[in-house]
Amino acid sequence: MTTAKPKILTTTSLTAMRKGDQPRFDPATPGLLIVPTANGRGRWIFRYVSPVRRKRRDMGLGSYTGKEDGVSIAEARDKARAARKLVESGRDPIDERQRDEQMALIEKRQESAMTFEKAAREVHGDLKPAWRNAKHADQWISTLETHAFPTLGNKLLADITPKDCADALRKIWISKAETASRTKQRMYAVFEWAWAQGYVKGNPVSVAHRLLPKRTPKTRHHPAMPWQLIPRFVADELADRGMVDDTKAALEFAILTAARSGEIRGACWSEFSPDWMLWTIPAERMKMDRPHRVPLSDRAAAIVKQQHENRRHADLVFPSPRTKMLSDMTLTALLRRAKAVSDEPGRVATAHGFRSSFRDWASEHGYARDLAERALAHAVEDDTEAAYHRTDLLNLRRPMMQAWADFVGGVDKKAESPDDASTADQIPAEA
């Protein structure tokens, strides 16, 4: 019995291939076969015994798609014959191909002589179309021109070490910490690009900070309005507002509750009790990931009630003019327009700063530290003290918050400035 000879591969026979069919050898070209991968598609293979490794190896020659983007029968045969000649000359075609690819990469690097400056300008060019702000695009490269190019600009990327990166940042690392951080981020982006392109085998910027002195973090507090000035500010800027001025309502509510801006802006109707006298903020909206109950003063409750009577959003108590959540910048803009005085010369008071104002007022009026800290929902840092915190002291906090609201709502004409402000009657500390 004679075995039928394989038929020469043709376009018609390849078009008839189906996924799962057996590989088909081309009798016209020793070692050439195609492995069907889908209907009318397949992967070209050149099978041979390596003269170097003495093992059978399969060399991929590309895919057959039946279209111009694939490798045709004629092209596959040419590739297989070229590979066969290498085998007959004692060379392994897969090893030769890998060697050629490596040489091409080396030549590409040598031809480009990619320095840090050239790489930075290429990265800048790639990123620039995505930036809407032309000023930011200019600043991105300007930072590197000023602080990185003098040290790194003419160096080949592969020759740059973590020490070189640290030296570029050293002069501004402490004196201009923010600028140094931005410069470092942009240097890092350049080397990430270079790594992806094959110019370097790692990112030296990622460890450069270990060669630089440690920074001492500078704590910058939110500018706060002196508590003595708040009644006049509320009377002049917040009391007289329209029925739909949610921004002013939100700011007054923030002052009365001493809550964080984000807690105010995200306040929902479902968080308030039916009589509007209690606000319960869920844990997922709190900085410390714990629910927080806020006893509302008469004035704070009246604000929420009025917002509900004129509500413009199904969930949000203080929506933006576009009926979305208010942004923090909206409150900031309001304070800037009002030129809200702060305890820091040249800086306008912030919404968050009113929490500090409340804390100072509570201390000045003899309220227990624990009550004030609970009102602000601050974390208890001392483990021993935290162990005894089994209650949020809601009933003891309510008179304090009402006294604060009474103070905020009553204009003391003598309290025009912190220097000549008179102190209100002392309120005894809660037991």
Question: Where along the chain do its domains lie?
Answer: 11-110, 116-211, 227-409
How far is Cα 346 from Cα 340, in angstroms, rounded to an integer?
A: 11
CATH 1.10.443.10 for domain 227-409: yes
Using only the alpha carbons of the chain, give its radius of gyration: 36
pLDDT digits (tens, 9 = 90+) for 89-127: 999 999 999 999 988 877 776 656 789 999 999 999 999
- What lies within 8 Å, CB to CB, of 143 at 6+ separation is 179, 182, 183, 186
Distance CA 333, CA 39 (A): 64
Q: Which residue positions in the chain have pLDDT lower than 50?
A: 1, 381-388, 411-431
What percent of the chain stands above pLDDT 90? 66
Give pLDDT, residue 121: 96
Establish whether domains 11-110 and 116-211 are of one fold.
no
pLDDT number for residue 105: 78
Give the whole-angstrom CA distance, residue 192 versus residue 201: 10
Q: Which long-range contacts (CB under 8 A, 24 or more apart) does 367-373 make?
A: 367/400, 367/427, 367/429, 367/430, 368/429, 368/430, 371/396, 371/397, 371/400, 371/429, 371/430, 372/400
| Whether 117 contacts 96, CB under 8 Å | no
Q: Is 55 helix (H, G, I), strand (E, B) or coil?
A: coil
- pLDDT (0 to 100) of residue 219: 58
Token pair 């509750």 is found at: 257
What element of type H or E holds 145? helix 134-147
CATH of domain 116-211: 1.10.150.130
Pinpoint the alpha helices (H) of 43-115. Answer: 73-88, 93-112
Instruction: Return the structure tokens found at 265.
Output: 């802006």
- 247-275 pLDDT tens trace: 999 999 999 999 999 999 999 999 999 99
Q: What is residue 240's predicted lDDT score, i.e. its pLDDT?
A: 74
φ, ψ at 284 (rounded to 5°): -70, -15
The amino acid at 311: R
Give the Cα separation of 211 and 289 in Å (integer): 37
Q: Which helix (H) or strand (E) holds 374?
A: helix 369-375
* pLDDT tens-digit readout, 44-100: 999 999 999 999 999 999 999 988 889 999 999 999 999 999 999 999 999 999 999
CATH top class, domain 11-110: alpha beta
Quick one: pLDDT at residue 382? 47
Please, what is the Cα angle at 298 between 295 and 301, to 5 degrees?
Answer: 70
Q: What pLDDT, on the 0 to 100 scale, is given for residue 417?
A: 39
CB-based contact 317:268 (threshold 8 Å): yes
Cα–Cα distance list, 168 to 159, 160, 172, 202 (Å): 15, 11, 9, 18
